[in-house]
């Protein structure tokens, strides 16, 4: 799947990088505003990994992602938001994927 090199998340430009050294791994860095995607995913998994990182980045930037007793355990992160805040998350997600949707229609 082709992803744009840049997307907008909550009004901020983020870089999208493909990293061949990452096998089936994706992550985001809010300090550098970068989403990194590994190149070795199964069919359909790339989009899921990309959207996972986009939504998590949105929630982090909007202050809805919290850690508790983490010690490196990703499963101990929680997300808290009300319906109005969720609506803003969806608006941010729509803005971030708008270029992908336009690209797929061609």
Neighbours of 62 (CB within 10 A): 15
In a domain, 33, yes or no: yes
- The closest alpha carbon to 57, from 24, 16, 95, 29, belongs to 29
For the stretch 60-103, pLDDT in tens is 888 888 766 656 656 677 888 899 999 999 999 998 888 777 76
Q: Is residue 1 part of a domain?
A: no
Query: What does the pLDDT look like over 14-73, one tens digit per residue?
Result: 999 988 777 778 889 989 999 998 877 766 788 888 898 999 899 888 888 876 665 665
Going by C-alpha positions, the residue among 82, 93, 85, 24 that lies closest to residue 56 is 93
Domain limits for position 53 = 6-105
Is 11 contained in some domain?
A: yes
Contact between 21 and 39 under an 8 Å Cβ cutoff? The reply is: no
> Is 65 domain-assigned?
yes
Give how many domains the chain has, as a whole number.
1
């Amino acid at each position: 799947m082709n992803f744009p090199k840049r997307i907008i998340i909550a009004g901020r430009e983020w870089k999208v990088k493909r990293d061949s050294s990452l096998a089936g791994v994706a992550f985001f860095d809010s300090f550098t505003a970068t989403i990194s995607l590994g190149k070795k995913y199964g069919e359909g998994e790339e989009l899921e990994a990309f959207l996972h990182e986009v939504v998590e980045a949105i929630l982090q930037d909007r202050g809805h992602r919290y850690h508790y007793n983490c010690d490196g355990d990703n499963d101990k992160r929680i997300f808290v938001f009300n319906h109005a805040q969720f609506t803003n998350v969806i608006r941010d997600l729509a803005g971030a994927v708008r270029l992908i949707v336009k690209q797929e229609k061609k």
